[in-house]
Amino acid sequence: MLEILKNSEYVVLDLETTWLIPYREWITEIAAIKCRDWEIVDEFQALVNPERHIPNWIVKLTWITNEMVADAPTIGEIMPIFSEFLGNAIIIWHNVSFDFRFLNYYHYQCMWSYLENKTICTLKIARRLLPQLPNKKLWTICEYFWITNERAHRAMWDTRATLKVLQRYQMMVNTEQIHWNC
Protein backbone atom coordinates (compact mmCIF):
# COMPACT_ATOMS: atom_id res chain seq x y z
CA MET A 1 0.00 0.00 0.00
CA LEU A 2 2.69 2.51 0.90
CA GLU A 3 4.81 1.19 -1.98
CA ILE A 4 2.93 3.69 -4.15
CA LEU A 5 4.97 6.43 -2.47
CA LYS A 6 8.28 5.01 -3.64
CA ASN A 7 9.65 7.19 -6.44
CA SER A 8 6.54 9.37 -6.19
CA GLU A 9 5.88 12.90 -5.15
CA TYR A 10 3.33 13.22 -2.38
CA VAL A 11 1.92 16.00 -0.25
CA VAL A 12 0.84 15.60 3.35
CA LEU A 13 -1.94 18.11 3.85
CA ASP A 14 -4.21 19.59 6.50
CA LEU A 15 -6.83 22.34 6.56
CA GLU A 16 -8.44 24.34 9.32
CA THR A 17 -11.99 25.48 8.72
CA THR A 18 -14.79 27.40 10.36
CA TRP A 19 -16.83 24.19 10.74
CA LEU A 20 -18.02 21.11 8.84
CA ILE A 21 -19.86 21.87 5.58
CA PRO A 22 -17.83 23.25 2.64
CA TYR A 23 -20.52 25.29 0.90
CA ARG A 24 -21.54 26.94 4.20
CA GLU A 25 -18.15 27.22 5.90
CA TRP A 26 -14.68 28.48 5.00
CA ILE A 27 -11.05 27.49 5.08
CA THR A 28 -8.93 29.48 7.56
CA GLU A 29 -5.56 27.74 7.10
CA ILE A 30 -3.83 25.43 4.63
CA ALA A 31 -0.58 23.61 5.34
CA ALA A 32 1.23 21.04 3.25
CA ILE A 33 4.57 19.23 3.19
CA LYS A 34 5.80 17.93 -0.18
CA CYS A 35 7.97 14.81 -0.10
CA ARG A 36 9.82 12.54 -2.50
CA ASP A 37 11.17 9.18 -1.36
CA TRP A 38 10.39 10.01 2.28
CA GLU A 39 12.40 13.25 2.11
CA ILE A 40 10.82 16.69 2.61
CA VAL A 41 11.40 18.86 -0.47
CA ASP A 42 9.06 21.82 0.12
CA GLU A 43 6.43 23.25 2.45
CA PHE A 44 3.38 25.45 2.04
CA GLN A 45 1.53 27.25 4.83
CA ALA A 46 -1.00 30.05 4.60
CA LEU A 47 -3.63 31.61 6.77
CA VAL A 48 -6.77 32.30 4.75
CA ASN A 49 -9.12 35.22 5.21
CA PRO A 50 -12.56 33.57 5.21
CA GLU A 51 -14.16 37.00 4.70
CA ARG A 52 -16.52 36.04 7.52
CA HIS A 53 -16.37 36.03 11.30
CA ILE A 54 -14.68 32.95 12.79
CA PRO A 55 -16.90 31.59 15.62
CA ASN A 56 -15.40 31.94 19.10
CA TRP A 57 -15.41 28.19 19.75
CA ILE A 58 -13.42 27.63 16.52
CA VAL A 59 -10.95 30.32 17.65
CA LYS A 60 -10.53 28.42 20.94
CA LEU A 61 -10.04 25.14 19.08
CA THR A 62 -7.63 26.32 16.36
CA TRP A 63 -6.05 29.40 17.94
CA ILE A 64 -6.74 31.19 14.65
CA THR A 65 -8.29 34.56 15.45
CA ASN A 66 -10.20 36.99 13.29
CA GLU A 67 -7.32 39.45 13.73
CA MET A 68 -4.81 36.88 12.42
CA VAL A 69 -6.72 36.40 9.16
CA ALA A 70 -7.91 40.00 8.66
CA ASP A 71 -5.03 40.85 6.29
CA ALA A 72 -4.47 37.30 4.99
CA PRO A 73 -5.20 36.49 1.35
CA THR A 74 -8.58 35.02 0.44
CA ILE A 75 -9.04 31.46 -0.81
CA GLY A 76 -9.42 32.88 -4.31
CA GLU A 77 -5.93 34.38 -4.05
CA ILE A 78 -4.35 31.33 -2.43
CA MET A 79 -5.90 28.49 -4.45
CA PRO A 80 -4.03 29.10 -7.74
CA ILE A 81 -0.71 29.17 -5.85
CA PHE A 82 -1.59 26.13 -3.78
CA SER A 83 -2.89 24.24 -6.80
CA GLU A 84 0.45 24.76 -8.52
CA PHE A 85 2.28 23.61 -5.37
CA LEU A 86 0.09 20.50 -5.23
CA GLY A 87 0.39 19.58 -8.91
CA ASN A 88 -0.29 15.90 -9.55
CA ALA A 89 1.18 14.72 -6.25
CA ILE A 90 -0.51 12.03 -4.21
CA ILE A 91 -2.35 13.73 -1.33
CA ILE A 92 -2.03 12.25 2.15
CA TRP A 93 -4.18 13.39 5.02
CA HIS A 94 -5.81 12.20 8.16
CA ASN A 95 -9.56 11.80 7.60
CA VAL A 96 -9.63 12.38 3.85
CA SER A 97 -13.44 12.48 3.82
CA PHE A 98 -13.42 15.80 5.70
CA ASP A 99 -10.52 17.76 4.23
CA PHE A 100 -10.93 16.54 0.66
CA ARG A 101 -14.52 17.83 0.51
CA PHE A 102 -13.36 21.30 1.51
CA LEU A 103 -10.31 21.42 -0.71
CA ASN A 104 -12.13 20.02 -3.72
CA TYR A 105 -15.10 22.37 -3.25
CA TYR A 106 -12.90 25.45 -3.08
CA HIS A 107 -10.62 24.19 -5.84
CA TYR A 108 -13.65 24.00 -8.09
CA GLN A 109 -14.94 27.41 -6.96
CA CYS A 110 -11.57 29.06 -7.69
CA MET A 111 -10.07 26.95 -10.49
CA TRP A 112 -13.18 25.55 -12.23
CA SER A 113 -11.88 22.00 -11.96
CA TYR A 114 -12.03 19.22 -9.44
CA LEU A 115 -8.90 17.64 -8.01
CA GLU A 116 -7.91 14.37 -9.63
CA ASN A 117 -5.02 13.55 -7.32
CA LYS A 118 -4.76 10.10 -5.80
CA THR A 119 -5.31 10.16 -2.04
CA ILE A 120 -4.14 8.16 0.95
CA CYS A 121 -5.90 8.44 4.29
CA THR A 122 -3.88 7.79 7.45
CA LEU A 123 -7.13 7.25 9.37
CA LYS A 124 -8.10 4.37 7.07
CA ILE A 125 -4.63 2.89 7.47
CA ALA A 126 -5.03 3.11 11.27
CA ARG A 127 -8.21 1.06 11.05
CA ARG A 128 -6.19 -1.75 9.49
CA LEU A 129 -2.87 -1.43 11.33
CA LEU A 130 -4.07 -0.31 14.76
CA PRO A 131 -7.42 -2.01 15.43
CA GLN A 132 -6.66 -2.08 19.17
CA LEU A 133 -6.93 1.72 19.54
CA PRO A 134 -10.21 2.99 21.03
CA ASN A 135 -10.56 5.56 18.24
CA LYS A 136 -8.51 6.64 15.23
CA LYS A 137 -8.27 10.36 15.91
CA LEU A 138 -4.93 11.89 15.01
CA TRP A 139 -4.14 12.73 18.65
CA THR A 140 -4.87 9.13 19.71
CA ILE A 141 -2.54 7.74 17.05
CA CYS A 142 0.12 10.31 17.95
CA GLU A 143 -0.15 9.30 21.59
CA TYR A 144 0.18 5.62 20.64
CA PHE A 145 3.38 6.34 18.66
CA TRP A 146 4.72 8.86 21.21
CA ILE A 147 4.51 11.67 18.66
CA THR A 148 4.21 15.16 20.12
CA ASN A 149 1.75 17.53 18.47
CA GLU A 150 1.97 20.67 20.57
CA ARG A 151 -0.58 22.62 18.54
CA ALA A 152 -3.30 20.20 17.50
CA HIS A 153 -5.84 21.85 15.20
CA ARG A 154 -3.25 24.11 13.61
CA ALA A 155 -2.67 22.99 10.06
CA MET A 156 1.14 22.79 9.91
CA TRP A 157 1.39 21.06 13.30
CA ASP A 158 -1.22 18.50 12.26
CA THR A 159 0.51 18.07 8.90
CA ARG A 160 3.84 17.35 10.59
CA ALA A 161 2.13 14.92 12.98
CA THR A 162 0.43 13.15 10.06
CA LEU A 163 3.76 12.83 8.26
CA LYS A 164 5.33 11.28 11.38
CA VAL A 165 2.38 8.88 11.68
CA LEU A 166 2.83 7.92 8.02
CA GLN A 167 6.52 7.26 8.66
CA ARG A 168 5.63 5.02 11.62
CA TYR A 169 3.19 3.11 9.43
CA GLN A 170 5.95 2.60 6.89
CA MET A 171 8.24 1.28 9.63
CA MET A 172 5.50 -1.12 10.76
CA VAL A 173 4.97 -2.37 7.23
CA ASN A 174 8.72 -2.80 6.67
CA THR A 175 9.45 -4.58 9.96
CA GLU A 176 6.33 -6.73 10.15
CA GLN A 177 6.12 -7.55 6.46
CA ILE A 178 2.47 -6.53 6.32
CA HIS A 179 0.95 -6.81 2.85
CA TRP A 180 -2.42 -5.28 2.12
CA ASN A 181 -4.07 -2.75 -0.13
CA CYS A 182 -6.13 0.32 0.76
Report domain extents, the chain: 2-176
What is the second-level CATH architecture of the domain 2-176? 2-Layer Sandwich (3.30)
How far separated are the first and last CA of the chain, in Å rounded?
6
| Residue 153 is among the residues annotated as catalytic for this protein | yes
Catalytic one of 94, 107, 153, 179: 153
pLDDT, average across residues 42-55: 96
Distance CA 141, CA 123 (A): 9
pLDDT at position 181 over 50: no
pLDDT grade for 3, boundaries at 50, 70 and 90 = confident
Within 10 angstroms of residue 176's Cβ, the number of other Cβ atoms is 9
